[in-house]
């Protein structure tokens, strides 16, 4: 594991425990739910993909809107939800707004969802819940 990978894994651990190593507390679950909700819409997922895969790292909203059969205000709403979830950021330059990915959040999500290297999944207790021992 490289130093950068260790750093990202450490940041993910600080942000939220891995789902496979410790239960989330109420605050962590609420925070993650906002991000997953933002990612749970096909339009927003496509927008995120278009932004993240853009050469140069940023894209003008004027290049995003024509890819959808949706109004400009609807696209803006979807972009706003992605921003609120911490997945993207933007800057107005004259008439246009430019968007870019915030890789810290996608790295955190990857860390949260990744099973630690070489670690087996927790084993289920063979005794059914509520059964007398």
pLDDT in tens, 32-73: 999 999 999 999 999 999 999 998 889 999 999 999 999 999
Helix (H) or strand (E) holding 73: helix 72-84
By CB neighbour count within 10 A (0-12 exposed, 13-18 middle, 19+ buried), where does 51 fall? buried
State how far the Cα of 6 lies from the Cα of 115, in Å rounded to an integer: 14
Give the pLDDT score at 126.
Answer: 65
pTM of the shown model: 0.72
Tally the residues of the chain.
Answer: 133
Find all residues with CB under 8 Å of 46, minimum gap 6, and list them: 67, 68
DSSP strand pairing (88-93 vs 58-60): unpaired
State how far the Cα of 121 lies from the Cα of 98, in Å rounded to an integer: 42
Q: What is the pLDDT of residues 73-110, one digit of tens each?
A: 999 999 999 999 999 999 999 999 999 999 999 998 88
Residue with token string 């670690």:
119
Give the pLDDT score at 56.
Answer: 87
At residue 131, does pLDDT exceed 90? no
Give the pLDDT score at 7.
Answer: 44
């Amino acid at each position: 594991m490289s130093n950068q990978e260790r750093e990202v894994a450490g940041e993910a651990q600080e942000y939220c425990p891995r789902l496979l190593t410790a239960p989330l507390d109420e605050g962590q679950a609420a925070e993650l739910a906002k991000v997953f909700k933002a990612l749970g819409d096909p339009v927003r997922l496509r927008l995120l993909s278009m932004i993240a895969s853009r050469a140069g790292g940023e894209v003008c909203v004027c290049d995003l809107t024509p890819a959808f059969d949706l109004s400009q205000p609807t696209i803006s709403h979807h972009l706003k939800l992605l921003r609120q979830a911490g997945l993207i950021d933007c800057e107005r330059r004259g008439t246009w707004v430019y968007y870019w990915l915030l890789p810290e959040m996608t790295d955190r999500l990857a860390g949260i969802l990744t099973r630690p290297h070489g670690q087996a999944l927790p084993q289920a207790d063979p005794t059914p819940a509520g059964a007398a021992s």
